[in-house]
Amino acid sequence: MKLMVIGSGGREHALAWRLAKTPGLQKVFVTPGNAGTARERELENVNLTNPEALADFAAKHKVHLTVVGPEAPLAAGIVNLFRDRGLKIFGPTREAAQLESSKDFAKRFMARHNIPTARFATFSDSRAAHAYVDQQGAPIVIKADGLAAGKGVVVAMDLSEAHDAIDRMLPASGDSPAKDSAPARVLIEEFLEGEEASFIVMVDGKNVLPLASTQDHKRIGDGDTGPNTGGMGAYSPAPVVTPEVHARAMREIILPTVRGMAADGIPYTGFLYAGLMIGKDGSVKTVEFNCRLGDPETQPIMMRLKSDLLTLLDHAVAGRLNLVEASWDRRVALGVVLAAANYPGTPRTGDLISGLPQDSDDSHVFHAGTTERDGRIVTAGGRVLCVTTLADNVRQAQKRAYDIIIDLHFDGMQYRRDIGHRAVSR
């Protein structure tokens, strides 16, 4: 049996690594993969990204199932293409992926189906956006409407920061968009107080299977300071997701979303990620939807998963998620992202990586922005590695991860030294 994982990041490395543990498996193709997936004995990188070429490859090599990692192929309709050709694939269609590819679509969907979220307004005219911010005051949240790799969000703590974000995301009023391109839009949302958590489930169109709870760290700096990133680390389980919060999230957000998409004629299949804002009173609101697994949340989730991942995926594709359960390692998994110089701006690439350890049963270094050059592994993106460990509690998982990081090096390497601090301080 052969499987395929589409993507080149840490999420895809972790997915392929877990799938490679499937009994009787021949090969997991990773397209295009990275230097880390190239090092794994059971994985094989294939340098393809074009959707038609990927479908041709899956058909030629009789790939049993394809899993899509990143958001861009989903928004481009790769699931539609594979299904039209009778190829098994797990992910949402282009239409369903609008929950992530258009924040305006997602917010209007939530309003229509009474799914709790922040108040919002959408603008393509910069003067109107600036006037709205002046009227609402700060703190306030500015979001680019579209895919932004987790970095199109500015939580503006003062009006100056909010106006600067609008100027970056919207052309000046009166400027025309390029021919054949849609006008840029921003969403402006109320600032929500509380603690964020990642709530990720598998969906088969009707049934839902929750995955282990996680919490990530978006800001670049210790103490949650500096600009937002795609994520600087994560851990699982997330203590803030109590049994009561879990039940509310399922009852008030996840199940209404799945039913609402079906009612709108866009049945949802695939991983569904709800970013939750959890209030001190236990209330939950939706910060955003992603239509795939989170990165770096996937790395701790895959470390803790004890069930056979392919079994879960096969049930999902067959519409039978109600007949399967996921089992989890009782221990804590924690991942620390090592990022390149200048991230989250324009990251520097080509820096030599040294000190990569041998992986073990309770630690794994998942690669993201890496490539091999002249037999050596060098940086090739913003988030480079995710050092992920398992331990009996958060403090031990932290120590294990940071002990590994001591021996890792590339010029300009930056990382947070407080991943998991919220769990430790609870």
Query: What is the pLDDT, as a whole number, of residue 228?
Result: 86
- Give every strand in the sheet of 284-290, ordered side by side: 208-210, 195-204, 269-278, 284-290
Find out if CATH 3.90.600.10 is the number for domain 331-425.
Answer: yes
Residue 151 is predicted with a pLDDT of: 52
pLDDT at residue number 179: 45
Residues 6+ apart with CB under 8 A from 64: 1, 2, 3, 88
Say if residue 294 is exposed, middle or buried (CB neighbours under 10 Å; 0-12, 13-18, 19+).
Answer: buried
One of 3.40.50.1360, 3.30.200.20, 3.30.1490.20, 3.40.50.150 is the CATH number of 119-190, namely 3.30.1490.20
Per-residue pLDDT of the chain (426 residues; tens, 9 = 90+): 999 999 999 999 999 999 999 999 999 999 999 999 999 999 999 999 999 999 999 999 999 999 999 999 999 999 999 999 999 999 999 999 999 998 889 999 999 999 999 999 999 999 999 999 999 999 999 988 876 555 578 889 999 999 999 998 987 755 544 444 455 889 999 999 999 999 999 999 999 999 999 999 999 999 999 988 999 999 999 999 999 999 999 999 999 999 999 999 999 999 999 999 999 999 999 999 999 999 999 999 999 999 999 999 999 999 999 999 999 999 999 999 999 999 999 999 999 999 999 999 999 999 999 999 999 999 999 999 999 999 999 999 999 999 999 999 999 999 999 999 999 877
The pLDDT tens digits of the residues spanning 18-69 come to 999 999 999 999 999 999 999 999 999 999 999 999 999 999 999 999 999 9
3-state per-residue secondary structure call for 68-103: ECCHHHHHCCHHHHHHHCCCCEECCCCCCCHHHHCH
Q: Determine the pLDDT at residue 406.
A: 97
117's CB contacts (< 8 A; 6+ apart) are 107, 110, 111, 285, 286, 287
- DSSP of 269-338, one letter per residue? EEEEEEEEEE-TTS-EEEEEEESS--TTTHHHHHHHB-S-HHHHHHHHHTT-GGG----B-SSEEEEEEE
Could you tell me how many residues make up the chain? 426
Give 139-179 pLDDT, tens digit per residue. 999 988 876 555 578 889 999 999 999 998 987 755 544 44
Q: Whole-model pTM?
A: 0.91
The answer to whether 2-93 and 119-190 have equal CATH topology is: no
Per-residue pLDDT reduced to its tens digit, 232-258: 999 999 999 999 999 999 999 999 999
User: What pLDDT shows up at residue 177?
Assistant: 47
> How large is the angle between the packed helices 126-136 and 159-169, nearest 10 degrees?
160
Fold of the CATH domain 2-93: Rossmann fold (3.40.50)
Show me where the domains of the chain are located.
2-93, 119-190, 331-425
Token output for 366? 């998942």
pLDDT of residue 153: 84
